[in-house]
Amino acid sequence: MTRLPLRPCLALPFTVLSSDGRVRLVAGEDFRYTLSGAGLETWLPDWLPALDGSRTLDDLLARLPEDCQEQARELVARLYGERVLTDGPARQAHVAGRYRLRPEGSGLLHAALAEGLAGRHEDALTLPVLCQDRLDYDEALRFNEHCLAGESPWLWATCGSMSRGYVSPVFLPDAGPCLACLLHGFRRLSPAPELYDELIEHARLGGAITPVPFPAPAVEILQQLVAWKAELLEQVDPPAALYQLHVLEMSSLEVTSHRVFFDPECPSCRGRR
């Protein structure tokens, strides 16, 4: 069965042209797509602009007359297969809310975040953040599975790689990539990808994973990044940085940001997105 995007989003800023039985999507001279079918011009041109990643496919289909819904679903499958439609980014599904950090895990970062929470936003929603000072990917994946089954966003912050620290994008349970998508991306870029599986198996068999030292100034930077992202969640239109990975280089204490992509083959969130 063909997978459909949960939140379909047009891949390019298409201009929509229509005539009897035909609808064309045009983005410059080199990107154009033609759809044909009886009556398409009566509903499709007005429906396509709503495919911006902010609404679920079920919501979008419900906007159409019942006799058009099956045809629309088939068109979405076709456009998604042709990459005219993509999975909507997490930012498009953002809903503003006030959150209070709920640190989990261990290490200096966990202690620093827990210490700064006294009396803060007691009435707010909780934002779980897994803090790690070791390469315990099994713990990270179990945390991710638990959060995927919930309704709140979550974060991951780690200094386990020793040469750099990471603060993940804010992950959402119903849009965008999850923590497993991010770790799969790391694995693909690793010169020794087999170590990921070996570390996971080692942890599952009860083996210890040694924590790594991380200096206090670096921990403070990671702490501030986590707190900053929690504050950005309150904004109705937050900057893209909220849904990006932030990397702290230990050698220079330089912070860079990177986009994280949804992995359509991710075994953790595939079928939930």
The 10s digit of each residue's pLDDT in 192-247 is: 999 999 999 999 999 999 998 889 999 999 999 999 999 999 999 999 999 999 99
Q: How many separate domains does the chain show?
A: 2
Q: Are residues 123 and 255 in the same domain?
A: yes
Q: Are residues 69 and 152 in the same domain?
A: no
Q: Are residues 184 and 235 in the same domain?
A: yes
pLDDT of residue 147: 96
pLDDT of residue 85: 92
Q: Are residues 186 and 141 in the same domain?
A: yes
Show which of 58, 88, 118 is a domain's final residue: 88
pLDDT of residue 273: 54
Q: Are residues 106 and 206 in the same domain?
A: yes
pLDDT of residue 272: 59
Q: Are residues 144 and 229 in the same domain?
A: yes
Domain assignment of residue 272, yes or no: no
pLDDT of residue 29: 81
* Residue 87, CA atoms < 13 Å, CB-side half-sphere: 21
Domain assignment of residue 102, yes or no: yes
Show which of 50, 67, 88 is a domain's final residue: 88
Q: Do residues 243 and 258 make contact, with C-beta atoms less than 8 angstroms apart? A: no
- pLDDT tens, residue order, the chain (273 aa): 567 888 899 999 999 999 999 999 999 888 889 999 889 999 999 999 999 988 989 999 999 999 999 999 999 999 998 999 988 888 888 989 999 999 999 999 999 998 876 555 667 899 999 999 999 999 999 999 999 999 999 999 999 988 999 999 999 998 899 999 999 999 999 999 999 999 999 999 999 999 988 899 999 999 999 999 999 999 999 999 999 999 999 999 999 999 998 887 898 987 555
Q: Are residues 169 and 250 in the same domain?
A: yes
Q: What is the CATH number of the domain that holds 203?
A: 3.40.50.720
Q: Are residues 167 and 237 in the same domain?
A: yes
Q: Reduced to 3 states, what is the DSSP secondary structure of residue 22? A: strand
Domain assignment of residue 264, yes or no: no
Domain assignment of residue 204, yes or no: yes
Q: Are residues 117 and 165 in the same domain?
A: yes
| Closest residue by Cα to residue 272 from 74, 56, 111 | 56
Q: What is the CATH number of the domain that holds 46?
A: 3.90.930.60
| Closest residue by Cα to residue 113 from 253, 215, 254, 230 | 230
pLDDT of residue 126: 93
Q: 240 is written with which tokens?
A: 């893209």
- Domain hosting 24: range is 8-88
pLDDT of residue 130: 98
CA distance 217 to 254: 12
Q: Are residues 98 and 82 in the same domain?
A: no
pLDDT of residue 262: 86
Other CB atoms within 10 Å distance of the CB of residue 144: 24
Q: Are residues 231 and 138 in the same domain?
A: yes
**Torsion sign over Cα 222, 176, 143, 189:** negative
Q: Are residues 62 and 147 in the same domain?
A: no
Show which of 88, 121, 152 is a domain's final residue: 88
Domain assignment of residue 267, yes or no: no
CA distance 235 to 59: 24
Domain assignment of residue 243, yes or no: yes
CA distance 36 to 269: 34
Domain assignment of residue 74, yes or no: yes
CA distance 169 to 182: 9
Q: 79 is written with which tokens?
A: 């456009």
Q: Is 175 exposed, middle or buried (0-12, 13-18, 19+ CB in 10 A)?
A: buried
CA distance 217 to 260: 26
